[in-house]
Structure 1
Amino acid sequence: MRADVYPSALHLVRYGFLNAAADFRATYTWRSWLFGWLGRMLAQVLFFTGLGRVVDQPGAARYLALGNALMTCVVDTMAVVATTSGERRAGTLSLLVASPADPVWVFVGRSVHWPVSGVATALVALFGLGPFFGVTWSPAQVPLVVLLTVLTALGTYCVGLFLAVLVVNVPRLRNVVSNCAYLGMMAFCGVQVPVGFWPRGVGAAVQAVPLTHTLKALRALGDHRSTAQVLTPVLPAVLTGALWLAGAVVTFRWLVAVPARRAGTLDLSG
Structure 2
Amino acid sequence: MSALTSSFHVVRYSAANAVADFRATYTWRSWTFGWLGRMLAQVTFFATMGLALHSSASAHYLVVGNSVMTCVVEAMTVVTSSAWERRQGTLPLLAASPARLIWVFFGRSLQWPVSGTVTSLVALLGLGPLFGVTWSPGQVPVLVGLVLLTAVSTYCVGLFLAAFVLSASNARNIVSNVGYLVMMAICGVQVPVSFWPDWVGVVAQSLPLTHTLAAVRGVAAHAGAGDIALRAGWAVLAGACWLGAAAVAFTRLQIHARRNGHFSFAE
TM-score range, shorter chain: over 0.9
Instruction: Please give the alpha-carbon distance, in whole angstroms, between the structure 1 residues aligned to 2:30 and 2:147.
Output: 23
The unaligned stretches of length 5 or more in structure 1 are none
1:182 paired to 2:177:
no
Instruction: Please give the alpha-carbon distance, in whole angstroms, between the structure 1 residues aligned to 2:16 and 2:56.
Output: 47
The one-letter code sitting in structure 1 at the alignment partner of 2:259 is R
Percent identical pairs in the alignment equals 56
Instruction: Please give the alpha-carbon distance, in whole angstroms, between the structure 2 residues aligned to 1:264 and 1:156.
Output: 31
1:259 paired to 2:243:
no
Number of residue pairs aligned between Structure 1 and Structure 2: 267
The one-letter code sitting in structure 2 at the alignment partner of 1:87 is E
Pick from 90, 107, 110 the counterpart of residue 109 of structure 1.
Answer: 107
Pick from 9, 24, 28 the counterpart of residue 7 of structure 2.
Answer: 9
Q: Give TM-score, length-normalised by structure 1.
A: 0.95
Instruction: Please give the alpha-carbon distance, in whole angstroms, between the structure 2 residues aligned to 1:14 and 1:33.
Output: 24
Question: 1:71-115, CA deviations, whole angstroms, 9 ceiling, x for partnerless residues?
Answer: 000010010000101111111000111112222211100000000
Instruction: Please give the alpha-carbon distance, in whole angstroms, between the structure 2 residues aligned to 1:216 and 1:7.
Output: 35
Query: How far 1:263 moved relative to its partner?
Result: 2.8
Tell me the residue number matched to 1:131: 129
Tell me the residue number matched to 1:228: 226
Instruction: Please give the alpha-carbon distance, in whole angstroms, between the structure 2 residues aligned to 1:195 and 1:57.
Output: 19
Instruction: Please give the alpha-carbon distance, in whole angstroms, between the structure 1 residues aligned to 2:189 and 2:18.
Output: 29
Tell me the residue number matched to 1:61: 59
Tell me the residue number matched to 1:163: 161
The one-letter code sitting in structure 1 at the alignment partner of 2:53 is V
Tell me the residue number matched to 2:236: 238
Instruction: Please give the alpha-carbon distance, in whole angstroms, between the structure 1 residues aligned to 2:219 and 2:230.
Output: 11
Pick from 186, 197, 204 the counterpart of residue 195 of structure 2.
Answer: 197
Question: 1:199-236, CA deviations, whole angstroms, 9 ceiling, x for partnerless residues?
Answer: 11111111010000000001011001111122110111
Question: 1:146-166, CA deviations, whole angstroms, 9 ceiling, x for partnerless residues?
Answer: 000000000100000001111
Most deviating of 77-86 and 56-65: 56-65
1:58/1:120 CA distance change after superposition, 3 Å:
closer
1:206 paired to 2:194:
no
Task: State the SS of the aligned residue for 2:167.
Answer: coil
The unaligned stretches of length 5 or more in structure 2 are none
Q: Give TM-score, length-normalised by structure 2.
A: 0.96
Tell me the residue number matched to 1:96: 94
Indicate if the aligned counterparts of 1:188 and 1:198 stay in contact, CA closer than 8 A.
yes
Tell me the residue number matched to 1:120: 118
Query: How far 1:197 moved relative to its partner?
Result: 0.7
Question: 1:35-90, CA deviations, whole angstroms, 9 ceiling, x for partnerless residues?
Answer: 00000000000001111111223400011000100000001001000010111111
Indicate if the aligned counterparts of 1:159 and 1:241 stay in contact, CA closer than 8 A.
yes
Tell me the residue number matched to 1:24: 22
